[in-house]
Structure 1
C-alpha cells in the first residue's frame, strides 16, 4: 500500500484486495493446460482470460478484456441481475464456458458473443439476436447457446446461423435463466444444460407471473418510473419453475416430476456417466429428491431421497455421476455431511463436506475437519479420501481429482498462493497479482465457552497489553450459512483497520455457521434472533474474562451488514445492558419482508406461526431503544428492500426514539464501490461510534440517544 493511498480507498479500488487473484479454473482432459480468469493487476477492474502451459509453467493471455471493451461496458437488465445475485463487481470476462476438450471457450462482453480457440488464441465475434447472457458451448464444440431477451438461442459455429430454441411469449416468462430464489439462495446460477453429445438441452422455464410485485423508486430522480420487481416474500408465491428438453431438431419434451410437492429445482446434472439428474426440494425444505430423467418420455425416476425433520441442507455440486456411472451425493449421516458413492460413504464421521467441486472418475471436494476455521480440498482415490491441501488455512480447488488447481489462503501471507497438482504433487504455479494491503494483523484466534465458539480478536498495531483498556467493537455476520472466522488474512483486513482506529475488534461465528455439522446448523431453527445474539454475548463475556486488562465492557459497540445489520440492531434493542451503540447496515427488520427459501427454512410460513415471526423481528422492539443506533440502507437494494430500515425508522420515530438514518442513494445490497463513497461510509461509522462511546480524542460530543431521527 502506498502512503498516498488510504487503506479504505485502496480496499475499494482493489475490490477488497481480490482483483488480480486467479479464479474459474478449467483443465484440459490431457492435463497439459489450465484456463483461468485474472485481472492484469491488483488494481485493474477488468478480468481477462488466461492460459497456463503446465509443462513449461508459462502463462499467456487469451483474451485481453481491456483491448476489447475499453472503459465502457454495457449490460442488459438480465446480466445486471445475474451479477447482483453473484455479488460480481468486476468487468471484462467475468465468466466463460468451454467444450469438453477445452479447445474452445465462449464468453460475453457488453452483450456481445465471442468464441476463442484456446490453442491458437484466434478470437471471433459472432453475430447474435439481442444482448447475450450466459453463453455456453456444447460439449462437442459445434454450437453456442445463449440467453437474450429471456429466450434461449443457439448459434451454429459452422454456418453462423442463429435461431431461437425457445421464446418467452410474455414478459413474465424466462427461458434458460436461474430464477431469483435459485440464484440468491440455492447457489444455482445457471438455467440450462447441454447434453453430452450436443444435440439437446435441458432448459429451465420460469414464470414469475404469480409472484408479488414490489417497487424500487429512485427518490433522487422523481421523474423516473419506479422499477417493479417480482419478489417472493416469505409465505407468498414463488415463480413457477419447470424443465423442458429441447432438441436441436425441434423436439420438445417436458420433464415430469411432482412440482406441486417439490417446487424448488435445486440442481441439474447431465454428463456421459448416466441420464440427466435433477434434485428437487419441497417447499418446507425437509425433503430433497434426486431423480433421473428419461429422455424419450420426460418421466423421472427416484434415485435417492434426503429427509430431515428441520430442513435438508443443499450442498453445491451434488448430485452427479462418476464417469463410470456411479451416483455421487452428499447426505447427513453420523452427525456429519458425508460424501456417498452408490450409497456408500467414502468420507468418515467428523469430516464435514462443504461442496463437490468436480466429478470424473474420482471426486474433488472441499470440507472441514475438527477446526471449522479451516477449509481443505480432498479427492477420492479408489474408495478412500486423500487431503490435497496440507498447510493450515482456507483452500479452494479447481480442475479435477487428477489435475487439481489449489488456491490457498493463510494467516501467514496475503492473497492466494495457487499451485497445480498432478495426482496430489505440485507441478506448476499460477501467479497471484493481488495488491499488498500493507496492513499487518494483530490477531488472536480463540475458541471460547462451552459451545467452543470460534472468535477472532484484533487489537491495534503497536498496542501494549495493559496500557489502557480499549472500547470493544463486535463486527459479526452472525447468521447461518456464512462464516467470518477463517484462517485467512484476507478475512480480517477491515477488522484490523477498525482496530487501528482504537478498538478491540471481536469477530464471532455462532451457531448456524458452516463447518460444524448438521446439529450445529439446526440449532438456529426458529430462533434467528435469540440464538445468534446469545452467542455474541457469550463470546464477548468469555473473551473479556480472558483479556480483562484489554476489553472495556462499559464501552461496547456492534456493527454489521445484512444479517449482521439485523444482529447489530437486535443487540441494542434487546441487550442494552451489554451493547452501548450499534451500526446496522442493510438490516432485515421484519422477516415477513424477506424471501421465501431463506426465511421459511428457519421460521416456516408466517401464517402457520405468526408469533415466531414477531419474536424474531425488530419492529415490536422499537419502543425499547435506549442506546444510539445508526441505520444504513441502499435505496436500490432488491435483496433486503429499503422497506426494512424505513419501517424500523418509522417505528422508532413514532415511539419518540432518536436515531441516525443514512440512506445510500442508488446503492444495492452491495455497499458503495466508489473509492470516496466507500471510504466515507466506513469513516462515518467509526467517527459516530467513537463519539457515542465517548472515546477520548473523538471530535464530537456524545449525545444521550444518538442524533437525527
Structure 2
C-alpha cells in the first residue's frame, strides 16, 4: 500500500489541528443575513478571518462592507466583562454556536437600528453611522429586539419580558414571572431543540403590543449536569421533558406596551379529522410557530401525538382564535420551516401535497408542482415568495413564485449544483451558496449580480474528492472517498462508513463542507470512506422520510449494508473483510447498532454521543417516531441499544461529552454498564466540559486522531 509523502503528508497530518482551530471551518463564514425592506442594506455577522472566533456585526451597502460593531474594538471592549446569562448559554447550546462576540442581533423594521447583547449587556448601533452605544438595563439581557420604529428595545431578564427606550430611559417590566419556574419571552427546551422555534416573543407592526410566550416548567422533570473535572462547581439544572413525561406548559399572551394583558385562547384539543392510532393524544401541547403581520397575530399549534397541526389567526383585542388551516397525517405532520406565512392579501403559505409522494407548498390557491420537494420558506418580498426546494435530493435550490401571476410557476433563482439558501428584502436577494468548490455569498438585485459578501473561511488542507454513486435498487444517494494516492494496483482498502442517516439531516449533498473534508482525511489514512443517506432522511418524499415510523434502526441499517455491498460489488478495491462505522449523535447510535446487530458485516465502530436509550430523549423528537413509551413500550425496547448489549462481539469505542444536555451522558453510561454486566469489553472516552458539539481545539483535534488509532488497531492495520 502506497501512502502520501512530502508536502501532502504534512498537510494531512496537520488537518485535525486546522479542523479544530477553524471550528469545523465555520469561522470567517458570513451568516444571519437581514435585508432592509428597500433592499439597500444587508446586515450579517462574521469574524475577521477563518481562525477568528469572535463574531462582529457588519453592514453591506453600495457594494462595500462596513464594520458596525467590534466586541474587541474601542467602546465595547472598554466595558467590564459581565457573566453570560444562563438563558443565553442555553440558547447558544441549542444553536450549536461555535463563536463568541456578536452571535445574534435584531433590527427595527427599516433595518436602521440593530440591537445585540454582549456578555449580558445591551448595545444598539445605527446602520447609517455612529459608534455602538450601550443601553443600561435593569439586569442581564437575553434576546433583545427593537420595536418596528426603533424607539423601544424589548428584552428578557430574569425570566421577565422588559422594555427600555432606545435612549436608555424608561426601563420597566411588561410581563414578569408569576411562579418559580415561569418565564416570559423565552422558548422552552423542546421548542428550541426539536421543533425549531427559538423565539419567545413577537412585536406588533405598530410597536404598541407584543405576542409573548409564557413557559411554565414546574411539572417538567429536572436534569442536573455537573462537571466532574471541577467538583466544587454546582451542577447546572435543565428542565428536560423525556419521552412520555410532562412537557412545559406554553401559553400565549397579548401584552400592551401601555399596560394590560390578554390571554390567547388556544384550542385545547384537535377535533374532527384527527387520525387515531394505538396511541392518540389530541391535546395541543406544542406552539410550533408564531408571528405578527399586518393582519394580526398568526399562530401554529400541534398535538402531543403530532398528527394534527392547526394554523390560527388571533384577534389582537380579545385573544380569540379562528382556525385558518388544518393538516393531519397518520404518522406525523411534518413541520416546514418558515411556515405558516401570510401574504399581504391574506393568502396563506403552508405545506401541501401536490400529488405523488412530494412534500410541496401551497401559496394561496397555487400548489407547487409534483417532484419539487420543498425544504423551507425563506419569506416574501417585492411580490414574490421565496423558498428552497429541489427535485434531486442532493441539491437544494432557491426558488421564487410571483404572487401577481406574471410567472406561470416557480422560477429557480440559484444556478450551480449545490445547496443554496437566501435572505430577501425588496428587490434584493442575498444568495448563500455551498457547492463542491466551496461557499460564496452573492448579492442579487432584480435578478442581476451587484456584489459579493466575503467568505473568509480557511481552505481545508485536504481537498474532498468524492465519487457520486447511486447504489442498489433504491438508488441510495452515496459518496465514496478514496485516497488521493490510491491506484488500481495499490491493494485492497479497508472500508469506513461515516453516515449520519437520521431524520432531518442529509450529508450526501453537492457541497464541500466540514464533513466531506473529514471523510477525505480518513480516506488519506488508507480507508475507502462510504457515506450514504438512506430511508428516513429528507428530500425524497413522504414515504421515504416516514419509513422509520415505529422503528428507527431496521430500514436505516439495511440501507447502509445494501450500499456497502453494491459499491463493493462494483469496486473490488473495497475490502469487505475489514469494515468499520463511525458517527455522532444518531450516526453514533447507528454505528453502535451496526456492530451489535451485524457483526458479520461490521468489524469495529466508533459511536459518539449515541442516544442509546430512546426513553431518555425528549418528547417531541422521540414520540414522533416511537409514540408514548407507556403505550408502545415495544417500540422503545426494539430501538434500545441497552437491550442488545450482550450481542457485542466487535471492538466498540463510546465517546461522549460530559456537559451534553441534548444527548445526556447517561445514554453512554447506561449502555456501558449494560455491556460491562454482559462481560463485553469496550472502550469509553469521556470528554470533560464538552457539549453535544465538541468545540474545544484540543478535544476536537485529539478526538479525530484517537478515532483513527482505534480503527486502525481494531481492523488490524
TM-score (norm 1): 0.94
Tell me how far apart the structure 1 counterparts of residues 422 and 541 of structure 2 sit (CA, whole Å). Answer: 21
Partners in 1 of 2:524 and 2:130 — Cα distance?
48
Partner of 1:325: 346
For 1:360 and 1:298, locate their aligned partners in 2 and report how far apart those are by CA, in whole Å.
29
Shift of 1:401: 6.7
SS at 1:539 equivalent: helix
- Give 5+ residue unaligned stretches, structure 2: 1-6, 270-282
| CA offsets 1:528-586 (integer angstroms, 9 cap, x no match) | 011111111111111111212x2100000001111111000000000001000001101
1:123 positional shift: 2.0
Tell me the distance in 1 between the aligned counterparts of 2:68 and 2:543: 47
Match of 1:6 in 2: 14
Instruction: Say whether 1:66 aligns with 2:75.
Output: no
SS at match of 1:489: coil
Asked if 2 retains the 8 angstrom alpha-carbon contact of 1:635 and 1:668, the reply is yes
Work out the CA distance in 1 between the residues paired with 2:358 and 2:427: 26
Seen in structure 2, the aligned counterparts of structure 1 residues 576 and 227 have a Cα distance that, compared at 3 Å, is same
Partner Cα distance (1:252, 1:623) in 2: 58
Which deviations, in whole Å up to 9, do the C-alpha atoms of 1:61-114 show, x marking residues without a partner?
111122124896741110000000010111111111111111111111111101
1:105 maps to 2:129: no
**In 1, Cα distance between equivalents of 2:548 and 2:647:** 24
Distance 1:401 1:545 in 2: 53
| Residue aligning to 2:448 | 425
SS in 1 for 2:49: coil
CA contact (8 A) 1:472 1:556 kept: yes
Return the alpha-carbon distance in structure 2 between the equivalents of residues 370 and 578 of structure 1: 33
State how far apart, in whole Å, the 2-side matches of 1:66 and 1:541 are. Answer: 54
Distance 2:543 2:77 in 1: 49
* Matched residue count: 687
1:350 counterpart SS class? coil
Task: After TM superposition, give the deviation of residue 481 of structure 1 in Å.
Answer: 0.8
SS of the residue 1:353 aligns to: strand
Which secondary structure does the structure 2 equivalent of 1:336 belong to? coil
| Counterpart residue number, 1:706 | none
**Corresponding residue of 1:254:** 263
Measure how far apart 1:358 and its partner are: 1.3
* Conserved 8 A contact 2:377-2:388: no
- Kept in 2, the 8 Å contact 1:37–1:47? The answer is yes
Structure 1 CA distance for aligned equivalents of residues 81 and 499 of structure 2? 36
Determine the structure 1 residue equivalent to 2:624.
601
The answer to whether the 8 A contact 1:336-1:352 is kept is yes
1:86-101 correspondence to structure 2 within 5 Å = 86-101=95-110
Aligned mates of 2:267, 2:384 — CA distance in 1: 30
Change in CA separation of 1:469 and 1:362 when aligned onto 2, cut-off 3 Å: farther
Greater shift in the superposed pair: 39-48 or 357-366: 357-366
What CA distance in whole angstroms lies between the structure 2 residues aligned with 1:226 and 1:122?
Answer: 39
Residue of structure 2 in register with 1:537 after alignment: 561
The aligned residue for residue 715 of structure 2 is 693
- Within 2, Cα distance between the matches of 1:174 and 1:51? 33
Partner of 1:700: none
Cα distance, 1:442–1:155 mapped onto 2, change above 3 Å: same
Q: CA deviation at 1:222?
A: 3.0
The 8 Å contact of residues 39 and 426 in structure 2, kept in 1 or not, is answered as no
Partner of 1:341: 363
Q: Deviations over 1:449-468 (max 9, x none)?
A: 11111111101122113421
Q: Is the 8 A contact 2:176 2:184 kept in 1?
A: yes
- Offset, 1:130: 1.1
- Cα distance, 1:47 vs structure 2: 0.9
C-alpha distance in structure 1 between counterparts of 2:465 and 2:485, whole Å: 8
Residue 536 of structure 1 aligns to a residue in which SS?
A: helix
- Name the SS of the counterpart of 2:704 in structure 1: helix
Q: Which residue of 2 aligns with 1:513?
A: 537
Whether the 8 Å contact between 2:378 and 2:386 is mirrored in structure 1 is yes
**Where does 1:139-538 land on structure 2 (aligned, <5 Å)?**
139-158=148-167, 160-259=169-268, 261-272=283-294, 274-334=295-355, 335-345=357-367, 347-381=368-402, 382-383=404-405, 384-400=409-425, 402-411=427-436, 413-414=437-438, 416-490=439-513, 491-538=515-562
Conserved? CA contact 1:362–1:379, under 8 Å? no
CA–CA separation in structure 2 for the residues paired with 1:608 and 1:561: 29
Alpha-carbon distance in 2 for matches of 1:686, 1:246 = 56
Please tell me the root mean square deviation across aligned C-alpha atoms, in Å: 1.7
Distance (Å, rounded) in 2 between the aligned partners of 1:445 and 1:401 = 38
* 1:299, distance to aligned residue in structure 2 (A): 0.7
Which of the numbers 590, 597, 600 marks the counterpart of 1:577? 600
SS of corresponding position for 2:45: strand
User: Could you tell me how far 1:326 is from its partner in structure 2?
Assistant: 2.0
Distance, in Å, in 2 between the alignment partners of 1:400 and 1:547 is: 49
**Cα contact 1:152–1:176 (8 A) shared by 2:** yes
- Does the CA-based 8 Å contact 1:475-1:506 persist in structure 2? yes
- Contact 1:377-1:395 at 8 Å conserved across structures: yes
In structure 2, relative to structure 1, the CA distance for the partners of 1:521 and 1:159 (3 Å cut) is same
CA contact (8 A) 2:609 2:655 kept: yes
Among 30, 35, 40, which residue is 1:22 paired with?
30
How far does the alpha carbon of each residue in 1:621-656 deviate from its partner, in whole angstroms, 9 at most, with x for none? 111111011111111111111111111101110111
Query: How far apart, in 1, do the equivalents of 2:605 and 2:37 lie?
Result: 53
**Deviation for aligned residue 1:245:** 0.5
Cα distance in 1 for partners of 2:571, 2:197 equals: 43
Q: Structure 1, residues 224-277: CA drift from partner, whole Å, max 9, x if none?
A: 4333321100010000000000000111000011245211000002112x1211
Shift of the alpha carbon at 1:289? 0.1
Structure 1 range deviating more: 638-647 or 336-345: 336-345
Shift of the alpha carbon at 1:612? 1.2
Give structure 1 stretches of 5+ with no counterpart: 696-709
> Could you report, residue by residue, the CA deviation over 1:271-290 in whole angstroms, capped at 9, with x for unpaired residues?
12x12110000001011000
Q: CA deviation at 1:440?
A: 1.8
C-alpha contact (below 8 Å) 1:421/1:428 kept by paired residues: yes
Q: 1:322–1:361: 8 Å Cα contact kept in structure 2?
A: no
* Alpha-carbon distance between aligned partners in 1 of 2:454 and 2:230, rounded to the nearest angstrom: 45
Report the Cα offset of residue 591 of structure 1: 0.7
Separation in structure 1 between the aligned mates of residue 130 and residue 372 of structure 2, nearest angstrom: 42
Find the counterpart in structure 2 of residue 563 from structure 1. Answer: 586
